[in-house]
Protein backbone atom coordinates (compact mmCIF):
# COMPACT_ATOMS: atom_id res chain seq x y z
CA UNK A 1 0.00 0.00 0.00
CA UNK A 2 2.91 2.34 0.63
CA UNK A 3 3.93 2.18 -3.03
CA UNK A 4 0.32 2.85 -4.08
CA UNK A 5 0.10 5.95 -1.89
CA UNK A 6 3.49 7.25 -2.99
CA UNK A 7 2.68 6.74 -6.66
CA UNK A 8 -0.63 8.52 -6.21
CA UNK A 9 1.04 11.50 -4.50
CA UNK A 10 3.77 11.62 -7.13
CA UNK A 11 1.06 11.87 -9.77
CA UNK A 12 -0.31 14.89 -7.91
CA UNK A 13 3.18 16.41 -8.02
CA UNK A 14 3.30 15.85 -11.77
CA UNK A 15 -0.04 17.64 -12.17
CA UNK A 16 1.17 20.51 -9.99
CA UNK A 17 4.34 20.91 -12.04
CA UNK A 18 2.24 21.69 -15.11
CA UNK A 19 0.31 24.48 -13.38
CA UNK A 20 1.00 28.06 -12.37
CA UNK A 21 0.65 28.55 -8.64
CA UNK A 22 -1.22 31.83 -9.07
CA UNK A 23 -3.97 29.92 -10.89
CA UNK A 24 -4.58 27.52 -8.00
CA UNK A 25 -3.32 29.12 -4.80
CA UNK A 26 -6.14 29.50 -2.26
CA UNK A 27 -4.53 30.83 0.93
CA UNK A 28 -1.94 33.42 -0.20
CA UNK A 29 -1.73 34.95 3.28
CA UNK A 30 -0.23 31.80 4.85
CA UNK A 31 2.98 32.79 6.68
CA UNK A 32 6.13 31.10 5.39
CA UNK A 33 9.51 30.42 6.96
CA UNK A 34 9.74 30.06 10.73
CA UNK A 35 6.92 32.41 11.71
CA UNK A 36 4.23 29.81 10.96
CA UNK A 37 4.38 28.53 14.54
CA UNK A 38 3.99 32.06 15.86
CA UNK A 39 0.61 32.18 14.12
CA UNK A 40 -0.30 28.73 15.47
CA UNK A 41 0.57 29.87 18.99
CA UNK A 42 -1.60 32.96 18.54
CA UNK A 43 -4.52 30.80 17.47
CA UNK A 44 -4.02 27.80 19.77
CA UNK A 45 -2.24 29.25 22.80
CA UNK A 46 0.50 26.65 22.30
CA UNK A 47 2.82 25.71 19.41
CA UNK A 48 3.10 22.37 17.62
CA UNK A 49 6.54 21.90 19.19
CA UNK A 50 5.02 21.65 22.68
CA UNK A 51 4.10 17.97 22.80
CA UNK A 52 4.41 18.04 26.59
CA UNK A 53 1.38 20.33 26.64
CA UNK A 54 -1.81 18.25 26.45
CA UNK A 55 -3.54 21.10 24.55
CA UNK A 56 -1.16 21.19 21.57
CA UNK A 57 -2.45 19.93 18.23
CA UNK A 58 0.08 17.07 17.93
CA UNK A 59 -0.67 15.88 21.47
CA UNK A 60 -4.42 15.82 20.87
CA UNK A 61 -3.90 13.86 17.66
CA UNK A 62 -1.31 11.45 19.07
CA UNK A 63 -3.60 10.63 21.99
CA UNK A 64 -6.44 9.81 19.59
CA UNK A 65 -4.20 7.66 17.38
CA UNK A 66 -3.06 5.69 20.40
CA UNK A 67 -6.70 5.02 21.21
CA UNK A 68 -7.35 3.79 17.67
CA UNK A 69 -4.35 1.45 17.86
CA UNK A 70 -5.25 0.24 21.35
CA UNK A 71 -8.71 -0.79 20.17
CA UNK A 72 -7.37 -2.50 17.06
CA UNK A 73 -8.98 -0.04 14.65
CA UNK A 74 -5.67 0.73 12.92
CA UNK A 75 -2.24 -0.90 13.06
CA UNK A 76 1.13 0.51 14.07
CA UNK A 77 2.08 0.88 10.38
CA UNK A 78 -0.92 3.08 9.64
CA UNK A 79 -0.93 5.44 6.69
CA UNK A 80 -1.62 9.12 7.30
CA UNK A 81 -2.01 12.02 4.87
CA UNK A 82 -1.83 15.61 6.09
CA UNK A 83 -3.68 17.76 3.54
CA UNK A 84 -2.27 21.28 3.22
CA UNK A 85 0.34 20.30 5.82
CA UNK A 86 2.01 23.73 6.10
CA UNK A 87 5.33 23.58 7.92
CA UNK A 88 4.90 19.83 8.61
CA UNK A 89 5.61 20.02 12.35
CA UNK A 90 2.40 18.15 13.28
CA UNK A 91 3.39 15.33 10.91
CA UNK A 92 6.93 15.32 12.28
CA UNK A 93 5.64 14.93 15.84
CA UNK A 94 3.33 12.09 14.82
CA UNK A 95 6.19 10.29 13.04
CA UNK A 96 8.34 10.64 16.15
CA UNK A 97 5.57 9.10 18.27
CA UNK A 98 4.83 6.31 15.76
CA UNK A 99 8.08 5.56 13.91
CA UNK A 100 6.58 2.69 11.88
CA UNK A 101 3.74 4.82 10.52
CA UNK A 102 3.71 6.00 6.92
CA UNK A 103 3.30 9.76 7.20
CA UNK A 104 2.71 11.85 4.08
CA UNK A 105 2.09 15.54 3.61
CA UNK A 106 0.83 17.39 0.55
CA UNK A 107 1.12 21.16 0.19
CA UNK A 108 1.58 23.53 -2.72
CA UNK A 109 4.32 25.27 -0.71
CA UNK A 110 6.52 22.21 -0.29
CA UNK A 111 10.12 23.34 0.20
CA UNK A 112 9.22 26.91 1.10
CA UNK A 113 9.06 26.35 4.84
CA UNK A 114 12.33 26.36 6.74
CA UNK A 115 11.23 23.25 8.67
CA UNK A 116 10.69 20.98 5.67
CA UNK A 117 14.24 19.60 5.53
CA UNK A 118 14.07 18.62 9.21
CA UNK A 119 10.62 17.07 8.78
CA UNK A 120 11.76 14.95 5.84
CA UNK A 121 14.94 13.86 7.61
CA UNK A 122 12.62 12.63 10.35
CA UNK A 123 10.98 10.19 7.95
CA UNK A 124 7.97 12.21 6.75
CA UNK A 125 7.40 12.22 2.98
CA UNK A 126 6.28 15.59 1.60
CA UNK A 127 4.78 16.16 -1.84
CA UNK A 128 4.00 19.27 -3.80
CA UNK A 129 0.34 19.38 -4.79
CA UNK A 130 -2.93 21.28 -4.88
CA UNK A 131 -6.09 20.29 -3.09
CA UNK A 132 -8.09 20.91 -6.27
CA UNK A 133 -6.23 17.99 -7.88
CA UNK A 134 -6.37 15.87 -4.73
CA UNK A 135 -10.14 16.08 -4.39
CA UNK A 136 -10.69 15.45 -8.12
CA UNK A 137 -9.55 11.81 -7.94
CA UNK A 138 -9.19 8.89 -5.56
CA UNK A 139 -6.13 6.97 -4.35
CA UNK A 140 -5.95 3.28 -5.29
CA UNK A 141 -6.36 2.31 -1.63
CA UNK A 142 -7.77 4.35 1.28
CA UNK A 143 -5.62 6.09 3.87
CA UNK A 144 -6.05 4.97 7.46
CA UNK A 145 -5.96 8.57 8.67
CA UNK A 146 -6.05 12.05 7.21
CA UNK A 147 -5.49 15.45 8.75
CA UNK A 148 -6.82 18.77 7.52
CA UNK A 149 -6.34 21.24 10.29
CA UNK A 150 -6.42 25.04 10.08
CA UNK A 151 -7.33 24.90 6.39
CA UNK A 152 -10.54 22.92 6.78
CA UNK A 153 -12.25 25.26 9.21
CA UNK A 154 -11.13 28.28 7.18
CA UNK A 155 -12.86 27.84 3.82
CA UNK A 156 -14.39 31.31 4.16
CA UNK A 157 -10.88 32.83 4.15
CA UNK A 158 -9.85 30.93 1.02
CA UNK A 159 -9.68 32.79 -2.28
CA UNK A 160 -12.09 30.40 -3.98
CA UNK A 161 -12.78 31.20 -7.61
CA UNK A 162 -16.29 30.78 -9.00
CA UNK A 163 -15.57 27.29 -10.37
CA UNK A 164 -14.08 26.26 -7.00
CA UNK A 165 -17.08 27.10 -4.81
CA UNK A 166 -17.87 23.42 -4.36
CA UNK A 167 -14.42 22.55 -2.94
CA UNK A 168 -15.70 22.23 0.67
CA UNK A 169 -18.29 19.69 -0.49
CA UNK A 170 -15.73 17.88 -2.66
CA UNK A 171 -13.39 17.71 0.35
CA UNK A 172 -16.07 16.11 2.54
CA UNK A 173 -16.97 13.59 -0.18
CA UNK A 174 -13.30 12.72 -0.80
CA UNK A 175 -12.60 12.20 2.90
CA UNK A 176 -15.69 10.02 3.27
CA UNK A 177 -14.63 7.80 0.36
CA UNK A 178 -10.89 7.56 0.91
CA UNK A 179 -10.10 7.85 4.63
CA UNK A 180 -11.06 5.61 7.53
CA UNK A 181 -10.55 8.19 10.29
CA UNK A 182 -10.29 11.93 9.68
CA UNK A 183 -8.90 14.44 12.18
CA UNK A 184 -9.48 18.11 11.50
CA UNK A 185 -10.29 21.42 13.09
CA UNK A 186 -13.91 22.32 12.47
CA UNK A 187 -16.47 24.93 13.44
CA UNK A 188 -19.61 24.03 15.38
CA UNK A 189 -21.64 24.32 12.18
CA UNK A 190 -19.32 21.89 10.37
CA UNK A 191 -19.50 19.44 13.27
CA UNK A 192 -23.30 19.64 13.25
CA UNK A 193 -23.40 18.90 9.53
CA UNK A 194 -21.16 15.85 9.94
CA UNK A 195 -23.43 14.44 12.61
CA UNK A 196 -26.54 15.15 10.55
CA UNK A 197 -25.25 12.86 7.78
CA UNK A 198 -24.60 10.07 10.29
CA UNK A 199 -20.87 10.40 10.92
CA UNK A 200 -19.48 9.51 14.34
CA UNK A 201 -17.71 12.59 15.72
CA UNK A 202 -15.45 12.82 18.77
CA UNK A 203 -14.25 16.18 20.06
CA UNK A 204 -10.55 15.98 20.97
CA UNK A 205 -9.91 19.50 22.25
CA UNK A 206 -9.64 23.16 21.34
CA UNK A 207 -8.60 24.04 17.80
CA UNK A 208 -7.39 27.25 16.20
CA UNK A 209 -9.34 30.33 17.30
CA UNK A 210 -12.93 29.22 17.95
CA UNK A 211 -12.72 25.83 16.21
CA UNK A 212 -12.49 22.33 17.71
CA UNK A 213 -10.12 19.46 16.92
CA UNK A 214 -12.36 16.50 16.05
CA UNK A 215 -12.06 12.97 14.73
CA UNK A 216 -14.84 11.58 12.58
CA UNK A 217 -15.56 8.26 10.94
CA UNK A 218 -18.39 6.22 9.49
CA UNK A 219 -17.65 3.57 12.13
CA UNK A 220 -17.07 3.54 15.87
CA UNK A 221 -14.39 5.65 17.54
CA UNK A 222 -12.49 5.07 20.79
CA UNK A 223 -13.65 6.95 23.84
CA UNK A 224 -11.54 9.98 24.71
CA UNK A 225 -11.14 12.46 27.54
CA UNK A 226 -13.35 14.89 25.63
CA UNK A 227 -16.11 12.48 24.60
CA UNK A 228 -18.28 12.74 27.76
CA UNK A 229 -18.19 16.53 27.39
CA UNK A 230 -19.20 16.28 23.75
CA UNK A 231 -22.26 14.19 24.63
CA UNK A 232 -23.30 16.76 27.24
CA UNK A 233 -22.83 19.48 24.66
CA UNK A 234 -24.98 17.63 22.14
CA UNK A 235 -27.77 17.16 24.66
CA UNK A 236 -27.72 20.79 25.80
CA UNK A 237 -27.66 22.14 22.24
CA UNK A 238 -30.23 19.75 20.83
CA UNK A 239 -27.83 17.86 18.50
All structural domains of the chain with their residue ranges: 2-22+33-109+133-237
> Are 37 and 46 within 8 A, CB to CB?
no
Residue 63 neighbours by CB under 8 Å, 6+ apart: 54, 204, 224, 225
Distances from the Cα of 85 to the Cα of 82, 92, 166, 195, 220, angstroms: 5, 10, 21, 25, 26
Phi, psi of 49 (to 5 degrees): -75, -20
State the pLDDT at residue 34: 59
Determine the CATH number of domain 2-22+33-109+133-237. 3.40.50
User: CA–CA distance from 9 to each of 28, 76, 89, 141 (Å)?
Assistant: 23, 22, 19, 12
Rounded to 5 degrees, φ, ψ at 98 are -130, 80
Structural contact between residues 25 and 108, judged by C-beta atoms closer than 8 angstroms? yes
Within a 13 Å sphere around the CA of 54, how many CA atoms are in the beta-carbon half? 6
Q: What is the pLDDT of residue 239?
A: 30
Model pTM? 0.86
Residue 164 near residue 132, CB atoms below 8 Å: yes
pLDDT tens for the 239 residues of the chain, in order: 667 999 999 999 999 999 887 776 665 556 555 568 988 999 899 999 999 999 999 999 999 999 999 999 999 999 999 999 999 999 999 999 999 999 999 999 999 899 999 999 999 999 999 999 999 999 999 999 999 998 888 766 656 677 767 888 889 999 999 999 999 999 999 999 999 988 999 999 999 888 999 999 987 665 544 343 333 333 233 33
Amino acid sequence: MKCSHVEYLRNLEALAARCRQEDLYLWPRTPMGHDHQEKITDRMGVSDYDVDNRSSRPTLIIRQIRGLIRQGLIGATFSLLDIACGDGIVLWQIKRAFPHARCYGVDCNRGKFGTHDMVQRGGVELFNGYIQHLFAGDPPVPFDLALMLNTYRGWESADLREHERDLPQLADAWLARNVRFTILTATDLQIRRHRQVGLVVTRLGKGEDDSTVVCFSKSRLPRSFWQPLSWLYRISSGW
